[in-house]
Amino acid sequence: MNTNKVYSTKEKLFLAQLLKDNPIIENKRTDGALVSEKNRAWELISTCYNSQPEIDTVRTVVQLKKLWNNLKQRKRKESTALRHSMLLTGGGPPKKPCLDPVLQVVEDAAPSLDVSVICSWDNTASFEKDEAVKSLTATEEAVSEPPTVDPDVSTLQLPSASTVHSENALPGVSVITPISKRVVTEKKARVNKVLDAAQQQQEIFEIKKQILTQDLLWATERRKQKEILLKLRVEAAERDLQRADFERELASLKLMQFKKQALKHNTVELNIKSRCVIRNCIPASGYTQDGFAQVFVSCFRRACWCDFHTGILRRQRSSSPLSLRSLG
C-alpha cells in the first residue's frame, strides 16, 4: 500500500479532532512520565485513525506526528500574516481572513499557538501618549517659571498661546490614531473568528447528532424486525406442536377403533362357529346339548381345540389327546 499518498482535508480534520480529544499531546511538561503517556496517546491516536472506514491508507505514528507539526506550522504562518495585515497602514480596512476548518480545529487542539505577550514597549499608541504627557509637563514647567533677563540675550522667545493650548489639550482628549484603529479592528476580527469557530462547532455537533439519531432509529427498527421474526418462528413451532398432538390423538383413536372392530369380528366369528359346531357335533359326542356347550366353552378357555367328529380333545403344543368324556 502506498503510504506517501497526499492527505485529504477530511483526514486532516479527523487527525486534528483526535488531537483535540487528547490534550496531553500539547502539554509542555517534559518529565519521563508525561513522555510515556504522550507515546501511549500517539499509539492510541494512530490505531483510532487507521481503524476508520474512510481511511484507505495506513499511517504510522511518525507520519501522523509530521502531519500534525506541519498543520501547527501552517497555523502559525496564517496567524502571523493576519497580525501583519492588521498592522499595515493605508489602503482601507484589512482583508477578511479566510477561515479554514482544519486550522480552526488545530487552534482548538493547540491553543498555545496564538498566545501573545502584552508589552507596553511594543505598543505604539501607549508610546505616543506617554511622549505627549512628557512634552506637556515640560511646557508647563517652562511657563510657570518667571522670565529672567539675560544680558547676553536681547530677546527671549516664549511659547505662543496657541502652542500652549494645543499641548494642554493632549492629556484630556483621547487621540484616535491609525494604530488604535488597527488594534480595535484586530480585536473585532478575533471576536468574529471565535464566533465563526463556535458556529462551525455547532454545525459539526448538529451533524453528529443527526448521524447518531439515524443510527438509533436504524437499531430500533432492526430490533423490531428481529422480534417480529422470533414471534413468527414461535407461532410456527406452536402450530407444528399442535399438529403433532392432533395426529397422535387421531392415530390413537384409529387404533382403538381398529381394536374394537377386530374384537367384534372375532366375537361374531366365534359365536357362528360355536353354534355350527354344537349343532353338528352333539350326536357324535354322545352329550346332551347343555353338556356339550359346557365342554366346548371349557375347551376354548383352556386354549385347546377338539375334533368333534371323533370326540377327541387335543391341547395346543401337546400330542396327548384327551377325551371329551374325561372332561365331562
Q: Where are the domains of the chain?
A: 9-137+161-195, 286-328
Average pLDDT over residues 52-81: 87
Confidence class of residue 323 from pLDDT cuts 50, 70 and 90? very low
Residue with the larger pLDDT of the pair 231 and 300: 231
Mean pLDDT of 230-242: 93
Residue 256 predicted with pLDDT over 50: yes
Q: Which of 95, 89, 106 is nearest to 13 (CA)?
A: 106
DSSP state, 97?
A: P
Q: Tens digits of per-residue pLDDT, 30-53?
A: 888 888 999 999 999 989 988 888
Relative orientation angle of helices 9-21 and 101-109, to the nearest 10 degrees: 20
Which position has the higher pLDDT, 276 or 175? 276
What is the Cα–Cα distance from 42 to 34, expressed in whole angstroms? 12
321 residue type, one letter: P
Mean pLDDT, to the nearest integer, of 210-223? 91
pTM of full prediction above 0.85: no
- How far apart CA 187 and CA 129 sit, in angstroms, is 20
Confidence of residue 82 (pLDDT cuts 50, 70, 90): confident
Q: How far apart are CA 177 and CA 22, in angstroms?
A: 44
* Amino acid making up residue 157: Q
Q: Give mean pLDDT, residues 9-37.
A: 87
pLDDT over 90 percentage in the chain: 18
The helix (run of H) or strand (run of E) holding residue 306 is strand 304-307
Q: How confident is the model at residue 81 (pLDDT cuts 50, 70, 90)?
A: confident
Q: What is the pLDDT of residues 90-113, one digit of tens each?
A: 656 666 666 677 887 888 777 776
Bridge partners of 306? 313
Confidence label for 260 from pLDDT (cuts 50, 70 and 90): confident
Q: Can you tell me the mean pLDDT for 52-63?
A: 87
Cα 206 to Cα 53, 183, 200, 211: the distances in Å are: 22, 35, 10, 9
Crossing angle of helices 101-109 and 61-87, in 10° steps, is 100
Q: Name which of 191, 173, 194 is nearest 183 in CA terms.
A: 191
Question: Mean pLDDT, to the nearest integer, of 120-149?
Answer: 52
Indicate if the pLDDT at residue 305 is higher than 60: no
Give me the pLDDT at residue 24, please.
87
Q: Could you give the percent of the chain with pLDDT greater than 70?
A: 56
Cell numbers describing residue 174: 483621547
**Mean per-residue pLDDT for 236-249?**
92
More confident of the two residues 16 and 139: 16
Q: Which of 12-26, 80-94, 150-164 has the highest mean pLDDT?
A: 12-26
- The more confidently predicted of residues 325 and 118 is 118
What pLDDT shows up at residue 271? 63
Range with the largest mean pLDDT of 22-36, 107-121, 244-258 = 244-258
pLDDT of residue 233: 92
**Grid cell of 280 as nine digits:** 353338528
